[in-house]
């Protein structure tokens, strides 16, 4: 048998994989965009809209999975991990801001590693929500959200596995730790400012009473 005859079925297989890849990557990017829009709506308090966008992202990923089913290579490539990670982040942000509850990975069929890294990224979005609440002078709500941030960090750092087993989680834990420290500082400053304003008002009331 000629070498060209040996290689021809290999070429056909790889071309098929490439065709699947060309279909899946745009779907993954589309799902990521939907998740980004969902996150924005969650921060605005438009939870119903955020939920719709999240469902649309999940449906897109489900469609991509059907495409991947035709390629063993793509099925092993973890090409949808970024999309799943974004779904985990958007879903947890939505459920925490709306109901104060975490979203389990089973709800959206999120693989373990993508769920963990997406959960770690949720810490950054929660900091944004904390700062929004500080600007609105709702320090109690900000403190409550900080508690979720700390809970996420405390739990994910117990997954002390090599990077080869849970890619990028250690780095994300380090980032989360830094974000939480800065957020504590922001809340502390807000509380101190709130106390100062309260004391000034008390002082002004006393001055008026003495006049």
At residue 197, the pLDDT reads 64
Q: Kindly state whether residues 81 and 177 are assigned to the same domain.
A: no
Does residue 2 sit in helix, strand or coil? coil
Q: Kindly state whether residues 76 and 172 are assigned to the same domain.
A: no
At residue 159, the pLDDT reads 95
Question: CATH no. for residue 76?
Answer: 1.20.58.2140
Q: Kindly state whether residues 95 and 136 are assigned to the same domain.
A: no
| One pLDDT digit (tens) per residue for the chain, 211 residues | 899 999 999 999 999 999 999 999 999 999 999 999 999 999 999 999 999 999 999 999 999 999 998 888 888 888 899 999 999 999 999 999 999 999 999 999 999 999 999 999 999 999 999 999 999 989 999 999 999 999 999 999 999 899 999 999 999 999 999 999 999 999 998 888 776 666 566 555 666 666 6
The domain boundary, picked from 110, 135, 161, lies at 110
Ordered DSSP codes for 162-200 = -TTTSTTHHHHHHHHHHHHHHHHHHHHHHHHHHHHHHHH
The domain boundary, picked from 51, 85, 110, lies at 110
Q: Kindly state whether residues 139 and 162 are assigned to the same domain.
A: yes
Q: Kindly state whether residues 11 and 100 are assigned to the same domain.
A: yes
Q: Kindly state whether residues 86 and 168 are assigned to the same domain.
A: no
Q: Kindly state whether residues 211 and 152 are assigned to the same domain.
A: yes
At residue 76, the pLDDT reads 85
Q: Kindly state whether residues 48 and 119 are assigned to the same domain.
A: no
Q: Kindly state whether residues 52 and 9 are assigned to the same domain.
A: yes
Contact, 92 vs 122, CB < 8 A? yes
Q: What residues make up the domain containing 7?
A: 1-110
Enter the pTM of the model: 0.89
At residue 204, the pLDDT reads 59
- Total domains, the chain: 2
Q: Kindly state whether residues 100 and 54 are assigned to the same domain.
A: yes
Q: Kindly state whether residues 124 and 93 are assigned to the same domain.
A: no
Contact, 87 vs 68, CB < 8 A? no
Q: Kindly state whether residues 8 and 97 are assigned to the same domain.
A: yes
Q: From CA 31, how far away is CA 24, in angstroms rounded?
A: 11
Contact, 142 vs 119, CB < 8 A? no
Contact, 64 vs 25, CB < 8 A? no
The domain boundary, picked from 69, 92, 110, lies at 110
């Amino acid at each position: 048998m000629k070498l060209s005859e040996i290689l021809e079925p290999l070429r056909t297989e790889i071309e098929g994989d490439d065709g699947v890849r060309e279909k899946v990557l745009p779907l993954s990017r589309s799902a990521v965009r939907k998740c980004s829009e969902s996150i924005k709506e969650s921060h605005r308090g438009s939870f119903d809209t955020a939920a719709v966008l999240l469902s649309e992202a999940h449906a897109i990923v489900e469609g991509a999975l059907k495409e991947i089913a035709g390629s063993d290579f793509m099925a092993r490539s973890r090409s949808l991990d970024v999309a799943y990670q974004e779904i985990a982040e958007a879903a947890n942000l939505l459920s925490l801001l709306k109901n104060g509850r975490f979203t389990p990975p089973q709800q959206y069929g999120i693989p373990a590693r993508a769920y963990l890294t997406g959960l770690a990224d949720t810490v950054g979005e929660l900091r944004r929500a904390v700062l929004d609440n500080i600007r609105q002078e709702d320090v109690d709500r900000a403190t409550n959200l900080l508690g979720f941030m700390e809970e996420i960090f405390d739990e994910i750092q117990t997954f002390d596995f090599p990077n080869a087993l849970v890619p990028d989680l250690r780095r994300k834990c380090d980032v989360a730790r830094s974000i939480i420290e800065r957020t504590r500082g922001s809340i502390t400053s807000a509380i101190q400012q709130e106390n100062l304003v309260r004391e000034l008002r008390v002082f002004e009331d006393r001055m008026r009473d003495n006049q």
